[in-house]
Amino acid sequence: MIPLLLKLKKESHKQIAKAQDIIVETLYETFNNATMHGGTAIWRCYQGNRFSEDIDVYLSRKLDKINIFFSSLEKKGFKLEKKKISNNSIYSKLYLDRTSTRFEALFRNVKSVLKEYETGEGNYITVYTLSPEDFLLEKINTYLKRRKIRDLYDIFFLLRLIKPSDKIRNEIKKFINNYEKPIDEKELKTIIITGLVPDTDKMVQYIKNF
């Protein structure tokens, strides 16, 4: 199996992937019940084919552990450019050398599953993440709010991991009934890791036919 870093074409993407690995490893040293979601979790835990920059997680609002987490990252060479903690979330921007990465968290308990997160070197870290079905529901809602091509692609990708059910069909029907074209269609070619870049209309047709 080809290590993930060798699949990435851009040097900037390789450096971001390395920084992500350190963040995820440090996260689970501090929060053993954190749940990964978002594009990076799909890419790393479900062998996705779309590059993603951010680390998005659900975790508990324990300020002492949050401070330990960021302190540990600084000891590992990260510089914290921005950190905002509210009652509901964390937004942070970190640098490792010249590589920028965002870490975002929502303080929420969610249903999760155990999966193996693939590191850039081809090793694995056991993490909590969402099931493909829960990812799909999240991504449908996200797309309808912001109409980003990356979310449309994620819906298209996730359907191959899911068995049809009435609940899923109802969510897809909601998606199709409210669908409008993505606002950043051309961006997809910059984040697909290998192979051809799927056509927007064909992805929508695939989703509609599920």
Q: d(Cα 1, Cα 118) in Å, to the nearest integer?
A: 12
Is the predicted pLDDT of residue 29 greater than 90, yes or no? yes
What percent of the residues of the chain are helix, what percent strand, and what percent coil, each to the nearest 5? 50, 20, 30
- Return all residues near 1 (Cβ < 8 A) that are at least 6 apart: 122
Instruction: Return residue ranges of the chain for CATH 3.10.450.620.
Output: 4-130
Condensed to tens digits (0 to 9), the pLDDT of residues 101-156 reads 999 999 999 999 999 999 999 999 999 999 999 999 999 999 999 999 999 999 99
1 pLDDT more than 90: no
- Which region among 1-5, 123-127, 160-164, 166-170 has the lowest average model confidence (pLDDT)? 1-5
Return the CATH number of the domain spanning residue range 4-130: 3.10.450.620
